[in-house]
Structure 1
Amino acid sequence: MRVPFKKTISVFVFTVYLNISYIIAQDKIPQIQLEKGEVTTAFIEAKIDSIIAILTLEEKVAMTHAQSKFSTKGVERLGIPEVWMSDGPHGVREEISWDAWENAGWTNDAITAFPALTCLAATFNPELANKYGYNLGEEARYREKDVLLGPGVNIYRTPFNGRNFEYLGEDPFLASTMVVPYIQGVQENGIAACVKHFALNNQEHWRDKINVEVSDRALYEIYLPAFKAAVQKANVWALMGAYNKFRGQYTTHNKILHKILKTDWDYDGVVISDWSSVHSTKEAALYGVDMEMGTGTDGLGTTTSNHYQHYFLANPFLKAIKNGELSEDLVDDKVRRILRLIYRTNLNPNRALGKLNTKEHHKVAREVATEGIVLLKNEENFFPIQDKKGITIAVIGENATRNMTQGGGSSQLKPLFEISPLQGIKERYKNATIIHTMGYESGDSVYDEILPATLNQDSLYVKAIETAKKADVVLFVGGLNKSHHQDSEGDDREVFALPYGQEKLIDGIHEVNKNVGFLLLTGNAVEMNWLPKTKGVLQTWYLGSMAGHAIADVVSGDVNPSGKLPFSFPKKLEDNAAHSFGEISYPGNGVDQEYKEDILVGYRWFDTKKITPQYAFGYGLSYSDFTISDVKIDQKKYNKSDTIKVTFNVANLGDREGAEVVQVYVGKHKSKVQRAIKELKGFTKVFLEKGDQKTVSISIAADELGYYNTEVSDWSIEDGNYYLYVGNASNNIVKKIKFSLF
């Protein structure tokens, strides 16, 4: 068919025009990847501006919500990569299926399980926290993740909280001091740490609906400092919202918390929702959710075709912008933060390659574990136990062989190996005879369900007593586990006492063998009516891959214990502040909850109310004897811009090397507002050879001694007299010094 000449010319001109337009458009597309010399803040921000300018609205919205259980979309036409996330705070979780809560079945996703964060907190060693974070970040990088969903910094308010083992204890100063180097270590690998759960998610029971009512003072003085340190001192790149409500509004998209985070603290990273913690398109858009994860549907409660498009920040968000109900500036801010995250992680040209399951990783895991183990009781020098011929050691208890990296919820892991306490003890003790029996049994650990035991408990009890009779020494290995209503996500504990008939078993063992030591595996305090039936107690936490080796290191004396408790152990549940006020304080009435103890959390409560704990915050024994002496401050009067310098001598009077944690607390004398008697303001871990001593100093900024003044909605520092307390536990103060601020 012939085409008229004029029409041919018109088609030709139009085709040329399209090609030229395409070429011009291509020229406008910025180079996405960076060269190593281009990694500057100004250059990256300019690059982000140029990218946002050419993204379609649909592309921008697609970046703000999940495309699978643990990933979000990139932009294919521009080469902008997807973002891949992984649980969790003490190890990189196994691969999860694209769209189901089940293992993907990979064979190359086994990792190093590091000790849970309660153990890290118990080390009181910020340098070790940095090594922990760096080695964990290396594993996340090798597994090709961009965001590691941890650490958790929710405050230990009640020993019933199922996720306390994932957090850093009851004191905001300790949590703040330990979380900063952890985050810095992770992010040195080009992996974003994601600090969580912002905020006031201090219990699992009713976590998805409970409305927390708390004073501004408690909010700012107790529950926010670790988050603030993560943002302002560690420059954390990601932060996760929480499930609960605060003052009637869900915390993931809470107007008050959004202002604090992104305006007051000037946070420039992303806010990632917890999985299914978004409840409103408008609030998520306005109050700071940048990446919506795990919602599943638009609230229908069922999975539908293309359900990721039904997320609150998916089609409903797109529609609201197109209709003019929401400004496009809102999605631009979210995309800007997401692109900033991408340039810090998977488009960072300086990013290392990562490593997995190296000897160094195992070494660090073991080091954290041994430094975090806390010697609670050592009557008649029960520990360490010598390895010598002719001695029989009975290891009794299910936790001697139970896998403690499985279960617990989102923090469960698939380690390359996990050395059990029994295996570690057997491998360390070459001369002594080691015998073992379970003593009791619980069901397997699965999420949100309690599985029954499968063995006859009476038979296990009888065999345990028979085994104890044959031994010179009994090591009872018990405590809690990662099952539902124990140390696990999804709900809280229901009883303060040891579960599974352990107290009865300890009583029975003690009747036939008085030489009993307890290896207590928990992430929480427990009731200790059984304490008089033991000569020694080691709090051994959940220690991960190297658990058994670390426990054997301390039991044998190869390592001198130096851990300190990061939270208080009450004698009875009612001694805990949250529980002392009844149901409305914990767990709430099903709708609302009031933090009636206000700022008096943990040792602040025990000190101020003159309640004696079973074991105090900061407490931990050693195989050596240490003294703290010649405590001085450099002045008696300070102005509010000064730094208070505390110096002291620490001496090791024992016959072996060891470490002591010196703790400095400060309290305001006759404050005009309610304040705790004292608050932790500094600490240092001092390592000493036998017979050695060191002069050590701790500096405290005077402007850190304020309280949150609700009358001016800001921090205030009172004039007048203060007391400085120095000791090795919150209830063991060796020196009290008076000074004044003006």
Structure 2
Amino acid sequence: MTDLDPPDLTALVGRLTLEQKVRLLTGADFWALNAEPEIGLRRVVTSDGPAGVRGELWDERDTSANLPSPTALAATWDDALLAELGHLLASEARRKGVDVVLAPTVNLHRSPYGGRHFECFSEDPVLTARVGAAIVRAMQDDGVAATVKHFVANDSESDRLTVDMRIDERTLREVYLAPFEVIVRDAGAWAVMAAYNQVNGTTMTESPLLRDVLHAEWGFDGVTMSDWYATRSTVATAVGGLDLAMPGPTGPWGDLLVEAVRDGQVSEEAVDDKVRRLLRLAHRVGALEPVTQQPLAPRTPEDTHALVRRAAAAGFVMVRNEPVGGVPALPLNRPELRRVAVVGPNAHPGRTLGGGSAFVFPDREISPVDGLREAFGEDVVVYAEGVRAHHRIGIADPAHLSVPGSGAPGVRIRFVDRDGDVLATDERTGTAYNWNNAFVDGVAPEKLGAIEMTTVLTAPETGEYRVGFSGLGQFRMLLGGDVAVDELLVLPEGADPVEGLMRPPQRGVDVALAEGESVELTVVRTITDHTPGSDLLVSLQLNADLPYPGDEAAIAHAVDLARVSDVAVVVVGTNEEVESEGFDRDSLDLPGRQDELVRRVAAANPRTVVVVNAGAPVVMPWRDEVAAVLLSWFPGQEFGHALADLLTGVVEPGGRLPTTWPATESEVLPSTRPVDGALAYDEGLHVGYRRFLRDAVAPAYWFGHGLGYTTWSYDALDVAGGPDDAVARVTVRNTGDRSGRELVQAYVAREGSAVERPTRWLASYAWVGADPGETVTVEVPLPRRTFEHWDTDAGAWTIEPGGFLVQVGRGAGDIVLEASTGW
């Protein structure tokens, strides 16, 4: 897209009154920016989007392509593939009328306990920068703005609204600001989101980093917006470099900012600069006349499914593949398999994405059971839950629900006023609802008295069901016409508000039903507070769990199936109770008795393949007791299809670890828990694999580790050029019996350095492909920044005189060749 010349933007700004200008600087509603027809500016729409573009609705009525989670995307280490996915995100945005996607999240995996770990790419700033830049460039090439977030150091969830991150200047520059710098300066990001947290005593929406680094040093010409409700002051944010306060229409700017300008506390020139930035963004996304944006070629659902499937497989990381009967456990020989046992709590339906801003409603979800049955045949695959790993009541399966009276699938929803009169009626097929001050036609929020949801649950099997609801506010639940619950549900003291969306309080009751028997369930949510942003932000779920025989019986059944099968595929993982935006993790253990399930299945069948369906590291005490281990992350809606492709050898596991997986929790891992309101980044430069190297501690699996279905030898390394044009030429040979790809990783070290440094740090990487027996040489450019460090005294980047050691290999802990730069 081509920018309007600055005089044109200045002229447009000059046609507006101060009140009109200030009105543009706060959102019109929860997702959109204000229009200004007088200057040809239409409404600009934002949307969450780290794993798919949601749009303005947050439910099953407006489905989205559910991409693999950012950890899975980073695990591909594949810039070209990530560019394809960036184009897909742009296509989804344009399809949904979205102009600005609130992604990517380029905060770092400082600690595996971070609850939003799955939404960030990596523990390494170089990898994060490259994958993030690939997505941003592609989206913006298609006329959709990317919003790089959360600037900066929003690396954990505990007290995230107020916590003060204490980071020394060199660490801040070399580690946490580094991905933002690359994506802003090199990829040209059009928007940046300022975080909730403080850094070294200043909240980020007021931080001088916005003005002094983002604007002045990096030359950022786009819009800096607040995270939602993160703008907490008028003057400090207005003079500090923030351009847009979200959401709206209320907030600390508006009339207060107009008054601050009139009083001379904020210059009108500062306001004009913010409006110019907004208009520049609007032009780039086609929201400002004259519109020059070109339409994109349409995508079919089949095209989208195929790309998501390919991306999921490319991000799967195989960390173990041992011989069974003299042959590697994977890939499986399909014609030889008469029975495949698929067990585990994540085998069906599986977890395709994380909770919070990354959550979307896909048009379909292929579970591991679904995908493997399609690949091997219905008569070959047998399934058992194995163990129940969640404590909360699950979201009710719409397949078991029908509308009272009509029998149509779904739930009847009535919106009633304060006198009990019906304002509108709706029918929904989903059972999770999010109304952000907007309901259905005919429902004025100020008149709403209650929302009533009624459905009929028909038992698919005989047993005891647990039914209920989740949400915040005053609820009444009727079961078969009788009041079962009447209670006000509130968050625990100190909880993050997002926990009300992701892990809200819930209530439930037990009801015994015979197969085919039905019971009517009604949940009433009363509206008592009608001020914007309060009781009208209704988010709730209808919940129902099917009968469960108990862990011991479920594990025993899974073991019995495994014992009589040719292979056992155990799908374990986390769930929304332990991994989500809004709270950090308390433990890296798999929830429930999943570890026991794996061990008992492995004892019954030596060909046990474990698939770990988690967005972040988990401790795997059984990892050396099973034949193979695949890390799937949250792989998107094509989970089952991608898994089948990998297990059958149709494709090779393409992923390499974007973060280090610790072996145990006995070592001290970086904390996410603030002390007296502050969180000290005491590890400094030594984040992730760098800390393991410094402390000489062996993790379970190193950053960069990952196996394929062939083997490689590294035969030669040559380093040429100086700091501005250094390149590592690496010769590798495919020593296996099938074609494959190898990720050549280049690290740099400095022996005897005069400044503190990591043992080694990632410089760059490149993929190379080869047929069996083929030798190939690949060039890996080494950017100048690889050799620079931040000189805090000079306030500048500098290169320490003398040579560096270039090391190449298969991961941070598997270096096979090294050579000096010779400077």
2:116 to 146, 154, 163: 163
Q: Partners of 1:646 and 1:539 in 2: how far apart?
A: 30
- Corresponding residue of 1:186: 139
Q: Does 1:457 align with 2:586?
A: no
- Corresponding residue of 2:569: 475
Q: Partners of 1:448 and 1:253 in 2: how far apart?
A: 30
- One-letter amino acid matched to 1:81: R
Given that residues 146 and 345 in structure 1 are in contact (C-alpha distance below 8 angstroms), is that contact kept between their aligned partners in structure 2? yes
1:714 to 796, 804, 807: 796
- Please state how far the C-alpha of 1:577 moved relative to its aligned partner: 4.9
- Corresponding residue of 1:303: none
Secondary structure of the residue aligned to 1:212 is strand
- Corresponding residue of 2:274: 334
Q: Does 1:384 align with 2:331?
A: yes
Quickly say closer, same or farther: Cα 1:216–1:209, change in 2 above 3 A.
same
Given that residues 357 and 416 in structure 1 are in contact (C-alpha distance below 8 angstroms), is that contact kept between their aligned partners in structure 2? no
Q: Partners of 1:681 and 1:435 in 2: how far apart?
A: 46
- Please state how far the C-alpha of 1:44 moved relative to its aligned partner: 3.6
Quickly say closer, same or farther: Cα 1:525–1:703, change in 2 above 3 A.
closer
Residue-by-residue CA offset, 1:388-408 (whole Å, 9 max, x unaligned): 255311100121113534660
- Corresponding residue of 1:369: 312
Q: Give 4+ residue runs of structure 1 displaced > 4 Å after superposition.
A: 450-454
Q: Does 1:275 align with 2:218?
A: no
Given that residues 405 and 412 in structure 1 are in contact (C-alpha distance below 8 angstroms), is that contact kept between their aligned partners in structure 2? no
- Corresponding residue of 1:447: 502
Structure 1 vs Structure 2: percent identity of aligned residues?
32
The correspondence of residues 572-583 of structure 1 with structure 2, limited to 5 A, is 572-575=664-667, 577-579=669-671
Q: Partners of 1:389 and 1:678 in 2: how far apart?
A: 46
Secondary structure of the residue aligned to 1:545 is coil
The correspondence of residues 154-553 of structure 1 with structure 2, limited to 5 A, is 154-294=107-247, 308-347=248-287, 348-353=291-296, 355=298, 357-380=300-323, 381-389=328-336, 391-402=338-349, 404-405=351-352, 408-430=355-377, 433-441=380-388, 442=390, 443=392, 444=394, 447-449=502-504, 455-458=548-551, 459-481=553-575, 483-484=576-577, 486-553=578-645
Residue-by-residue CA offset, 1:307-342 (whole Å, 9 max, x unaligned): x45411222112212233221112111110000000
Q: Partners of 1:63 and 1:366 in 2: how far apart?
A: 41
Secondary structure of the residue aligned to 2:595 is helix
| Structure 2 gap segments, 5+ residues each | 396-500, 509-544
Q: Does 1:116 align with 2:69?
A: yes
Quickly say closer, same or farther: Cα 1:390–1:510, change in 2 above 3 A.
closer
Q: Partners of 1:177 and 1:695 in 2: how far apart?
A: 22
Secondary structure of the residue aligned to 2:618 is coil
- One-letter amino acid matched to 1:379: E
- One-letter amino acid matched to 2:690: R
Quickly say closer, same or farther: Cα 1:405–1:317, change in 2 above 3 A.
farther
Secondary structure of the residue aligned to 2:749 is strand
Q: Partners of 1:194 and 1:274 in 2: how far apart?
A: 11
Task: Give me the TM-score of the superposition, normalised by structure 2.
Answer: 0.79
The structure that is strand-richer by fraction is 2
Given that residues 127 and 181 in structure 1 are in contact (C-alpha distance below 8 angstroms), is that contact kept between their aligned partners in structure 2? yes
Q: Partners of 1:706 and 1:318 in 2: how far apart?
A: 45
Q: Which moved more, 1:503-512 or 1:708-717?
A: 503-512
Quickly say closer, same or farther: Cα 1:255–1:521, change in 2 above 3 A.
same
Q: Partners of 2:733 and 2:353 in 1: how far apart?
A: 42
- Corresponding residue of 1:31: none
Given that residues 142 and 354 in structure 1 are in contact (C-alpha distance below 8 angstroms), is that contact kept between their aligned partners in structure 2? no
Residue-by-residue CA offset, 1:591-634 (whole Å, 9 max, x unaligned): 01110000000111111221111100000011101112121123
- Please state how far the C-alpha of 1:645 moved relative to its aligned partner: 2.1
- Corresponding residue of 1:600: 686
- Corresponding residue of 1:729: 811
Q: Does 1:59 align with 2:20?
A: yes
Secondary structure of the residue aligned to 2:342 is strand
- Corresponding residue of 1:622: 708
Given that residues 210 and 241 in structure 2 are in contact (C-alpha distance below 8 angstroms), is that contact kept between their aligned partners in structure 1? no
Secondary structure of the residue aligned to 2:129 is helix
Q: Partners of 2:676 and 2:581 in 1: how far apart?
A: 18
- Please state how far the C-alpha of 1:252 moved relative to its aligned partner: 2.3
Cα RMSD of the aligned pairs, angstroms, is 2.0
- Please state how far the C-alpha of 1:227 moved relative to its aligned partner: 0.4
Quickly say closer, same or farther: Cα 1:374–1:309, change in 2 above 3 A.
closer
Q: Partners of 2:370 and 2:134 in 1: how far apart?
A: 32
- Please state how far the C-alpha of 1:509 moved relative to its aligned partner: 2.1
- Please state how far the C-alpha of 1:79 moved relative to its aligned partner: 3.0
Given that residues 140 and 354 in structure 1 are in contact (C-alpha distance below 8 angstroms), is that contact kept between their aligned partners in structure 2? no
The correspondence of residues 559-578 of structure 1 with structure 2, limited to 5 A, is 559-575=651-667, 577-578=669-670
Quickly say closer, same or farther: Cα 1:450–1:729, change in 2 above 3 A.
farther
- One-letter amino acid matched to 2:764: G
Given that residues 65 and 292 in structure 1 are in contact (C-alpha distance below 8 angstroms), is that contact kept between their aligned partners in structure 2? yes
Secondary structure of the residue aligned to 1:531 is coil
Residue-by-residue CA offset, 1:284-310 (whole Å, 9 max, x unaligned): 10112211113xxxxxxxxxxxxx454
Given that residues 123 and 564 in structure 1 are in contact (C-alpha distance below 8 angstroms), is that contact kept between their aligned partners in structure 2? yes
2:92 to 139, 164, 180: 139
- Corresponding residue of 1:87: 48
2:753 to 647, 671, 676: 671
Q: Partners of 1:432 and 1:282 in 2: how far apart?
A: 68
